[in-house]
Amino acid sequence: MQNLLVTGGAGFIGSNFVHYCVEHTGFHITVLDKLTYAGHRESLASLPADRVDLVHGDIADAALVNDLVPRADVVVHYAAESHNDNSLHDPRPFLDTNIVGTYTLLEAVRRHGKRYHHISTDEVYGDLDLDDPGRFTEETAYNPSSPYSSTKAGSDMLVRAWFRSFGVQATISNCSNNYGPFQHVEKFIPRQITNLIDGVRPKLYGAGANVRDWIHADDHSAAVLKIIEKGRPGETYLIGADGERSNQQVIETLLELFSLPAGAYDQVTDRPGHDLRYAIDSTKLRTELGWRPVVDSFETGLAATIDWYKANETWWRPQKAGTEARYVEQGQ
């Protein structure tokens, strides 16, 4: 395995994966990215030109995809419209990219006989009650709530069908909420960090009892590498680092890390259909492939993420005002 085609490699998790591969493998990586509002050339700018190429284009462009796929040994598919709140206001791009884009890639890997890894989310399983002792496993039934998560669930189903009907050598991973550098300021953690840097109070949706299961993007990247190296085609692997926290707890931790008083946040309009709790049981990945998270704790990872946003204002500043203007329009 020498050449990877990484879709969405200029986005948050994709760019972290490309950085991780440059550091930990000898792969050459071609990134295919549409550079939507969520994709940033700058996220890859520090990487060596002989290891990483960026092709600006759409995964739903069959001619382009059929040109790039034959040159790769493995296709790792991160590209997506990824934000739940956006999907509630304009679902169409989610269908185009997450469904038609995935279909276009699957047809190309089928035609050219390439190994394919599909990046998905725990949100395909819907949500758990706050007091449910259970967690999601690979056997949990799909039950997505939002236009975003339903298009991700649809794309997972396409991958399963292309494996069973056409023998495409595909694996799927469903990961929980990521945090780390290069995440767009529309998302929960970077929105609050950049608010706090600007002296603005963090914004909590509703009462903030909703629970997310946080994992550092580097731990996600290490898991994806294990799966593309040792995963069994046709299998799904759940990725999670036992990082359950309520949104309110996350905001309180951020306030503490900024040396601000507890409770110094605003409650804003809740997200319609807001999933209550996600929680991942990653036993299969840990026992079958020997993966385990290496980031010490959520709190140390969060402190390092704060440092990254403080040191990289030129990266996030251009996104900030427009993102906040949209949230204000929505009462959030």
Residue 35 structure tokens: 């550079």
Q: Is 10 in the site for ligand NAD (CB under 6 A)?
A: yes
254 binds, among ligand DAU, ligand NAD, none (CB under 5 to 8 A by kind): none
| 236: Cα within 13 Å, side-chain hemisphere | 20
- The contact mask relative to ligand NAD for 19-48 (x = CB under 6 A, - = no) is -------------xxxxx-xx---------
CB neighbour list of residue 297: distance below 8 Å, 6 or more residues apart: none
For residues 120 and 171, which CB has a smaller minimum distance to ligand DAU in the complex?
Answer: 120
Helix (H, G, I), strand (E, B) or coil at 198: coil
d(CA 133, CA 212): 15
Q: Is 177 in the site for ligand NAD (CB under 6 A)?
A: yes
212 binds, among ligand DAU, ligand NAD, none (CB under 5 to 8 A by kind): ligand DAU
In whole angstroms, the minimum distance from the beta carbon of 58 to ligand DAU comes to 19
Q: Is 222 in the site for ligand NAD (CB under 6 A)?
A: no
For residues 59 and 255, which CB has a smaller minimum distance to ligand NAD in the complex?
Answer: 59
In whole angstroms, the minimum distance from the beta carbon of 48 to ligand DAU comes to 29
Has 122 been annotated as catalytic?
Answer: yes
Quickly list DSSP for 217-266. Answer: HHHHHHHHHHHHHHPPTT-EEEE--S-EEEHHHHHHHHHHHTT--TT--E
Contact yes or no for 153/207 (Cβ under 8 A): no
247 binds, among ligand DAU, ligand NAD, none (CB under 5 to 8 A by kind): ligand DAU
Task: For residue 239, give the nearest of 186, 203, 280 by alpha carbon.
Answer: 280
The distance from CA 147 to its chain's CA centroid, rounded to whole angstroms, is 16
- The residue whose Cβ lies closest to ligand DAU is 121
Residues that bind ligand NAD (CB under 6 A): 7-8, 10-14, 32-36, 38-39, 58-60, 78-82, 97, 101, 119, 121, 152, 175, 177-178, 184
